[in-house]
Amino acid sequence: MWGMYLQRWLAAFQLDANPALRLAALLPIVLFCWAAALCGSILLISWLSGWSLLARRFRATEPWNGQLWSWQSARFRGWCGYNNCLRVGADPQSLSLSVIMPFGLFHPALLIPWHEIEVETGKACFGLYDTAQFRIGTDERVTVRIYGKLVNRIRQAAGPGWPLYQIEQFESQTK
């Protein structure tokens, strides 16, 4: 059966073949090359952003049951943007990061305990937006920057697990 399809496909590349038939025969090759390029670029982004490095130690082993926000954005290592394709979750024990499909290929879900994260907060865009930079892992040291309302959502969901919780509580009491 497959031999018959292969013979027809090879016949389409003969010089006297119908041009429309040649074009139809090239379609599987073009689709394969497009899919290979897409998979390759997603794999490359996973390596360059540090996601694959974090997945070695912080791969989630079970589904996330805490608070979750979809279609979020973050910058990994300062230049690799995951724009509107992240699901971010937080609770007092950990931070959850995952990528929405189809971009989640080569990006396993991450579950990072707060004690493995250093947080530096500040303002961006002339003080209009809150920002937080996470340095994740004692050995990995992958930086992840988030902006806007997501910073406060994570801070509230993490509660006392938030690495700067004690400092922020002390500052609010001394004001």
CATH of the domain at 71: 2.30.29
Segment 118-132 shows an average pLDDT of: 84
Query: Positive or negative CA dihedral for 104, 156, 112, 128?
Result: positive
The whole-angstrom separation of Cα 114 and Cα 92 is 8
Answer yes or no: do 56 and 117 share one domain.
yes
What pLDDT sits at residue 78? Answer: 85
Specify the residue for token string 């996330």.
Answer: 64
Q: What is the pTM for the complete model shown?
A: 0.78
The whole-angstrom separation of Cα 67 and Cα 76 is 22
Amino acid letter, 140:
E
140: left (phi over 0), alpha (psi -120 to 50) or beta: alpha
pLDDT digits (tens, 9 = 90+) for 22-34: 666 677 888 888 9
Q: Where are the beta strands (DSSP E) in the chain?
A: 67-76, 80-90, 94-99, 110-113, 117-124, 129-136, 142-147
77: containing domain: 51-174
Last residue of a domain, one of 12, 27, 47: 47
Answer yes or no: do 60 and 130 share one domain.
yes
| Structural contact between residues 66 and 51, judged by C-beta atoms closer than 8 angstroms | no
pLDDT digits (tens, 9 = 90+) for 28-74: 888 888 999 999 998 999 999 999 999 999 999 998 888 899 999 99
What pLDDT sits at residue 69? Answer: 96
Number of other residues whose CB lies within 10 A of the CB of residue 148: 15
Number of domains in the chain: 2
Answer yes or no: do 29 and 91 share one domain.
no
Answer yes or no: do 102 and 168 share one domain.
yes
What pLDDT sits at residue 57? Answer: 94
What pLDDT sits at residue 173? Answer: 61
